[in-house]
Amino acid sequence: MVQQSILSLLLLPALALCAPHARHASQHAPAAVVARSSTPSYTEPGLVYFKNSCDYAVSIEEFAGPGCDCADSTEVKSGSSWNDTLKTCDSGNRVLKVYKEGETAPMQFEYGIVSSYLWYDMSFINCVKDSYDFSACAGAGAGDSASAGWAMSSEKECEAYSCSGGEECCTQGYCDPYATGMSIQPNTGCGADQGYTDPSAMGITIELCASSDSSEAESQ
């Protein structure tokens, strides 16, 4: 419980960076997108791996605290992926903002290495609308709600978050900055308590439009 309280404070600077960005597609020159045939297992040491399993392209921006550079903005096409090195920043926070075409409010994946633990969470704060409407979030179905899905995980013994819409997503990620009504904040720190002594050698896997079947298979 102490770790949960610490992360709630550490994430506030990251959340402050997460205001909608209307010109996300034009800030940086496009970077190369690495295509892979399937979502990897939990073991991708030292990498943040993002897979777009939606049937549409998304654009991504990476924001970082002091001590870390941001990767270039880029488009990740349907079925393709993006990755970056998992770096330690002075503030401990990094934010991957993901935009659905035609939307200016991002879906966000927040992560960082703090006190020898790898922390991470999903944030719907900017893109969720009233009554659990996630249609503006990257990862929502394009006319087919069954294709919606969000997943974020690390090593096998670490907490994994996933949802496909509705109220469930507000238990698996942040729908407001304080996760109102939740007895446990939807974030986790993974490290020595789970048997991992070097968080920089761990990895993070993120997937949009992740099916519940694939998420369950990976967690086994």
| Mean of per-residue pLDDT scores for the chain | 78
Taking the alpha carbons at both ends of the chain, their separation in whole angstroms is 26
Above pLDDT 90, what percent of the chain? Answer: 57
Confidence (pLDDT) at 27: 30
Could you tell me the residue ranges of all domains in the chain? Answer: 2-219
- Alpha-carbon distance of 168 to 171, in angstroms, equals 5
Q: DSSP characters for 38-71? A: S---S--TTEEEEEE-SSS-EEEEEEE-TT-PPP
Which CATH number does 2-219 carry?
A: 2.60.110.10
Q: What is the pTM of this model?
A: 0.79
Confidence (pLDDT) at 143: 58
Instruction: With residue 15 as reference, give the H or E element that holds it.
Output: helix 2-16
Q: 114 near 87, Cβ under 8 Å?
A: no
Q: What is the pLDDT of residues 77-130, one digit of tens each?
A: 999 999 998 888 877 788 999 999 999 999 999 999 988 999 999 999 999 998
Residue 78 CB burial class (10 angstroms; 0-12, 13-18, ≥19): middle
Confidence (pLDDT) at 80: 96
